Amino acid sequence: MIIAKLKHLLCADLYKKIRQLTATAEHQQLRADRLAAELEQHQSDTRKLKSSLMEQQEQQAILARFAASLDGYHRSFSTLQSFLAQERHGLEQLGYYLHGLDDRLTDMGIRDSLIKSALLAEIELANIEEFQLMVMVQRMVLGHIEADERQVVSVEECGIGRWYYSSLFQRYFGATREFQALETPHQQVHEFALQALQAFRNNDPRVVRACLLSMENANQTMCQLIERMTNNLLSTSAAPSANTQVA
């Protein structure tokens, strides 16, 4: 009887230990599964981080190339600034000269040609100034030069504004569709330039990128209108004509 009881106790104790070991093994397995899942998640996060770092490096490389291009543009425009001032002065003098020779030039048949040349030269110089404004804003948000909203001149003071709001251009182009449609995208270029600088000061790169893209799109629309306007000028007489009136 005693031996039987001992065997029973030993079996019960052994069974209990086996159950404990089984429970421990199951617990360890669950823990191992959790660790494996965490490791897999960590590896996934690591891959995502590496991918993100590679994208950032690519973006930095693109920005570096873009910045180098902007620096090149800036140097070129710096050289052009004195040239623009000289050309503008020359155009003003040409305007006075044409006014004084108006009757004789009309008789000689070359008045229209000279007026066309003067108008086109003024437009092209203004286009360069407007592009310079955009490059300046892009360099500001890249941190190459100090961001200063005061450097963004008004729509009346910039190169395009000076001819757009002048009585001479109003006389020759004021009734055309292209001229009338030009004011809105021109204003948008300046508005988005200011908004990009404000977003840069607020440390909001997403808004900066959106404003720069909108600024470029507005400038593209403006350039297309100017191109059609100048093509119409080249195909007609320089004097205001019924052919250029809005239907």
Q: Hey, how many other C-beta atoms are within 10 angstroms of the C-beta on 81?
A: 12
* Contact assessment for residue 181 and residue 211, using Cβ atoms and an 8 Å cutoff: no
Higher pLDDT: 45 or 2? It is 45
* Contact assessment for residue 143 and residue 205, using Cβ atoms and an 8 Å cutoff: no
Higher pLDDT: 77 or 165? It is 165
Return the minimum-mean-pLDDT range out of 10-19, 134-143, 163-172, 177-186. 10-19
Report pLDDT for 195.
96
Distance (Å, whole) CA 219 – CA 188: 8
Higher pLDDT: 34 or 207? It is 207
> Which two tokens mark 10?
């030993």
Higher pLDDT: 2 or 164? It is 164
Taking the CA atoms of 86, 149, 58 and 219 in sequence, report the sign of the dihedral they define.
Answer: negative
Report pLDDT for 207.
94
* Contact assessment for residue 178 and residue 104, using Cβ atoms and an 8 Å cutoff: no
DSSP letter (8 states) at residue 38: H
> Which two tokens mark 164?
């757009």
Q: Which alpha helices (H) appear in the chain, and where do they start and end?
A: 2-100, 102-108, 111-141, 159-164, 167-173, 177-201, 205-235
Higher pLDDT: 36 or 71? It is 36
Q: What is the pLDDT of residues 102-112, one digit of tens each?
A: 555 455 456 66
Q: What is the pLDDT of residues 7-16, one digit of tens each?
A: 555 566 655 6
> Which two tokens mark 109?
């048949």
pLDDT, mean of residues 31-55:
74
pLDDT, mean of residues 175-204:
95
Distance (Å, whole) CA 216 – CA 189: 7
Length of the chain: 247
Residue type for 96, please? Y
Q: What is the pLDDT of residues 58-103, one digit of tens each?
A: 766 666 666 666 666 556 656 655 665 666 666 566 566 555 555 5
Report pLDDT for 245.
40
Is the full-model pTM beyond 0.75? no
* Contact assessment for residue 212 and residue 137, using Cβ atoms and an 8 Å cutoff: yes
